[in-house]
Every structure is written in structure tokens, then in C-alpha cells.
Amino acid sequence: MEAAKPRLAKAGVISLLVRVLREKQHQWDRASFWAASALWNLAFDEDIKTQILEEPGVLEALEEARRLGSENTKMKARGALWMIQPQPEETKEGDQPATGLSAEDMQKLGAIENAKAQVMLSYEWHHQAQVMQLKEQLNARGFNVWMDVDRMMGSTLEAMAAAIESSDAIIMCISGRYKESQACRTEAEYAYTRKKNFDSSHGRKGLQTGWMARNSRRK
């Protein structure tokens, strides 16, 4: 799939996807779900991300899907917008990230005043049991560990950003499902752009290719 992205972009798929989002045809919501999802996937390639940003009407079309679509379509549109649009500059050491989260969400994240999670575990939901074991092992060794057990980050990208910003290091628990998950890939990309220290724990061999190989180099 990664190797096919440049060919798809060259063939004009970006314009086609934007047209799908903008045309209110029969089953618009379903079509918009897949179009926004495709744009989210394409945006993991930096060169294609630039092409998407240059496509007339793309941001407006995604914003409309984010406002008017079903919950699933809104989630895909938010993810695409998050990946496509430039993120705020990296916060300086000692500064608190401006997340816009409620006090309740911040408490769930552990991002409370004078508290900072040492390690964040990034994982795909189906492997939660194994990752919980890793969390317990790290806790036993004196690490303060944060992991998403309520699927906050799958639906709230700001929550994902707050968790990464408040962590000293990220451990990516990589599996086949992790590599295929848009939410997990977005976490990994955001951690990379924020220049966070991170390492990867592999559930299977042969998965560290393309974007994952680039992201996993920073230790």
C-alpha cells in the first residue's frame, strides 16, 4: 500500500476523493467516510500531504464531513484534518501544552498540575492485555506509566496530543494491527514530529518498514 501511494496521487486520486466529499450524492455519508479515511492514509506520506494541502477545497470538504457526517465519518474527517494541517510549534521545556481539554479529560490523562508521566504506551486495542502486562512490569521497576484504557485517543486527537506532550518517552507496541491502524500511526507520527524519545516493542518480525522504520530510529 505504501509503495502505491505516489502512483495513486499521480493518477489524480486526491481530486477524486475531494469531489466525493463535496458532492451530495446518494449515500454521501458512506462515501465521505471512505474518502476521508483514504485522505488520512495518504497524508502519512509527507510529499502527498503537501499535494493534499494544495488541492482546492480539500479543507472545506473535510470540515463539512466533520460537521455533518455520522460519528464514524466525523472521526475519519478529524483524523485527516489532523494529519494534513500543520500542528502547533513544539512546546518549550517546562511549558504546558495548550490542549483545550476539559479538566475531566486532563485528569484521565494524568496530565494534572506538577505531574508528568514518564512513559506512554502506544498500542492497538486488541493487544491491551499484553500491554497491561508490560505496564505492570514497568511500574514494578519504578516507572510512572500512562496508557489509554478508555479509548480516549481513538476518538479525541487532542487527548492523544496531551498524552504525548506530557510524556518523557513513548513505547510503541508494534503489531500487524498497529501498523494498519490510522489512530496508532497518527500517534507515532505525532510523537516523531514532537521529537519525543521513543522505542518500539515488536510483536512480530518484518513490520518495521516505510514510515515505521523512519519513526523507530529515534531512541
Question: Any idea which architecture 103-216 has in CATH?
Answer: 3-Layer(aba) Sandwich (3.40)
**Could you tell me the sign of the dihedral formed by the alpha carbons of 118, 124, 128, 129, in that order?**
negative
Residue intervals of the chain classified under CATH 1.25.10 are 5-84
Residue with cell 496530543: 161
Among residues 185, 166, 189, the alpha carbon closest in space to that of 175 is found at: 185
Q: Which residues contact 83 (CB under 8 A, 6 or more apart)?
A: 40, 43, 44, 49, 186, 189
Distance CA 14, CA 20 (A): 10
Residue-by-residue pLDDT tens, the chain, 219 positions: 677 888 999 999 999 999 999 998 889 999 999 999 999 989 988 899 999 999 999 999 999 999 999 999 998 998 899 889 876 555 444 444 444 445 555 554 444 343 344 788 888 888 888 888 988 888 888 888 888 775 555 456 777 777 787 788 888 888 888 888 888 888 888 888 777 777 776 554 433 434 444 444 444
C-alpha cell at 127: 493487544
Residue intervals of the chain classified under CATH 3.40.50.10140 are 103-216
Determine the CATH number of domain 5-84. 1.25.10
Yes or no: say if 191 and 218 are a contact pair by the CB < 8 Å rule.
no
- Which neighbouring-strand residues pair with 119? 145, 169
